[in-house]
Structure 1
Amino acid sequence: PDNVTYLIWPAHADLSVTQAILERWVAAYQDGGTFIWAITLKSQPDQVIGDISALDYVPATNSMTIGYVLGRDYWGKGYMTQALIAVSRFLLQEADLNRLIATHDTANPGSGRVMQKAGFHFEGILRKSMHNNQGIVDSAHYSLLKFDL
């Protein structure tokens, strides 16, 4: 499917894989240091169309890395930008983080546009620095700091 092309994990083979991952996410959230949210439409709050997460807390810089995925049918409608703005504000203001980091495969410029629309600043490209479902790829790096809000 299109929505896993640039992800670092494969498509779920069946429902049991999805269930196991959801259980791990709940445990990670309860342990602290990890935030994972489902993305739904206001008109259909029981239907998950994607997710957004903040992982890899680094105490020395008080930072986390944000990642997201959205179902193909919902691309280009502003949903991910809206989610990224809301999550970024929560993390920088309520969770009191200093820095958020986001990266994407350079072959997926749409993800970079989402980051830019959400106020993230482009920091550069690292060549052959990320492995995803396309293999080893170049990655574009963005950040958002507390004082950027």
Structure 2
Amino acid sequence: MLMHKGTVPLETPRLALRRFRPEDTPSVYRNWASDPQVTRYMRWSPHQSVQETGQVVESWVKHYSQPSFYLWLIELRETGTPIGALEATITSENDACAELGYCLGRYWWGGGLMSEAVAVAIRFLFQEVGLNRIEACHSVRNPASGRVMEKCGMTFEGMARQKYYSPTEGFQDCRTYAILRGDWTEYLQISQQFHTQN
């Protein structure tokens, strides 16, 4: 049985992961939600107004009352700037499995920040929630996302044809990755460089 904790604060040397708040709306809109380059391979279209972003953020905030809802805003610890989002969707309670999804503002690409966020989330989901398997996938057209998965100890498991639909790019062939709780020792070796104890 999973031990759900909800979206609790997490930290890495450079990042703080926390719940979204309504007052984050302007930064979310400006820093990534309205950017077509960020949303290009997502399942959602770039937001057309800050009001649209506000409605989405409000819906997320309401879901935080559910212990099995895991959605973090990622911010820089030094400045408090919101730079992205990370979600873990529980795909099976019985099988103790979840799928990760994430996005990062374009200005912060290439600096290893998303790897930090994903690594600390994986640690939390295995150690605190009790998951056995964590999955993720990325469009074959977006290999940078796959590098994040690999840096966090996830193993490539194969291709999934037309796995999801992107409003911008259409149906996407994907590379799928996963990490198991049984990979714990190897995972710790990878993740130690990213996280600090909470």
Counterpart-to-counterpart distance in 1, 2:65 and 2:139? 30
Q: Which has the higher strand share?
A: 1
SS across alignment from 1:31: coil
Counterpart-to-counterpart distance in 1, 2:44 and 2:128? 30
Is the aligned partner of 1:48 residue 2:82? yes
Is the aligned partner of 1:76 residue 2:110? yes
Q: How many residues align?
A: 148
Question: Is the 1:33–1:57 contact (alpha carbons within 8 Å) kept by the matching residues of 2?
Answer: no
Q: Which piece of structure 1 moves more, 55-64 or 10-19?
A: 55-64
Aligned to 2:42: 7
Is the aligned partner of 1:137 residue 2:176? no
Counterpart-to-counterpart distance in 2, 1:141 and 1:134? 18
RMSD: 1.1
> What letter corresponds to residue 51 of structure 2 in structure 1?
S
> What letter corresponds to residue 121 of structure 1 in structure 2?
T
Is the aligned partner of 1:58 residue 2:89? no
Question: Is the 1:34–1:57 contact (alpha carbons within 8 Å) kept by the matching residues of 2?
Answer: no
Instruction: Compute the TM-score of the two structures, normalised by the length of structure 1.
Output: 0.95
Shift of 1:16: 1.3
Q: Which has the larger radius of gyration?
A: 2
Which among 124, 132, 151 is matched to residue 117 of structure 1? 151
> What letter corresponds to residue 155 of structure 2 in structure 1?
H
> What letter corresponds to residue 105 of structure 2 in structure 1?
G
Unmatched 5+ residue regions in structure 2? 1-35, 185-198
Aligned to 1:37: 72
Identity value in percent: 36
Which among 119, 123, 146 is matched to residue 85 of structure 1? 119
Aligned to 2:60: 25
SS across alignment from 2:125: helix
Shift of 1:12: 1.0
Shift of 1:24: 1.4
SS across alignment from 1:30: coil
Q: 1:99-130 CA distances to partner (integer Å, 9 max, x unpaired)?
A: 11101101000000000000111110111222
Aligned to 2:13: none
Shift of 1:25: 1.1
SS across alignment from 1:9: coil
SS across alignment from 2:103: strand
